Amino acid sequence: MTVVVGYVATKEGHAALDRAVQEASTRSTRLLVLDSRAKKSDEPYLAQALERARAEGVEAELRALTHNADPAEDIIAAAEEVDAELIVIGLRRRTPVGKLILGSNAQRILLDAACPVLAVKAP
């Protein structure tokens, strides 16, 4: 089984990644980090989190999202592919109008994923 996390370089993405490392370690399972950063420059936070996971004995894989579909579809498809036992996502506060106009990837993942989803807020 695998813990899947959608990562973006924001405080919410950092919180989700940290919790996903913790969940994978606690569950003694693999970690799949789906990197949705638009700019693929090296980011120390991501590298440190992957190193921390490996130091805790967690097999961690980094995979870039395809961006052929929307991020919610990519995350759900990857979770199904690896038979994920948990998806971890970061949540950010949005206005009702923002939700109406832009939709919500988090909401779609929560409703459409076949496995449990853990939604994490940034501190």
The domain ranges of the chain are 2-121
Rounded CA gap, 35 and 112, in Å? 20
pLDDT tens track, the chain, 123 positions? 899 999 888 889 889 999 999 999 999 999 999 987 666 665 788 888 889 899 989 999 998 876 666 889 999 999 999 999 999 999 887 666 555 554 588 888 999 999 999 999 888
CA dihedral sign, ordered 65, 69, 75, 81: negative
Task: Say what the pTM is.
Answer: 0.87
Measured at the CA of 31, the angle between CA 94 and CA 107, to 5 degrees, comes to: 25
Measured at the CA of 92, the angle between CA 84 and CA 59, to 5 degrees, comes to: 30
Count other C-beta atoms under 10 Å from residue 94's C-beta: 13
CATH topology of domain 2-121: Rossmann fold (3.40.50)
Rounded CA gap, 123 and 120, in Å? 9
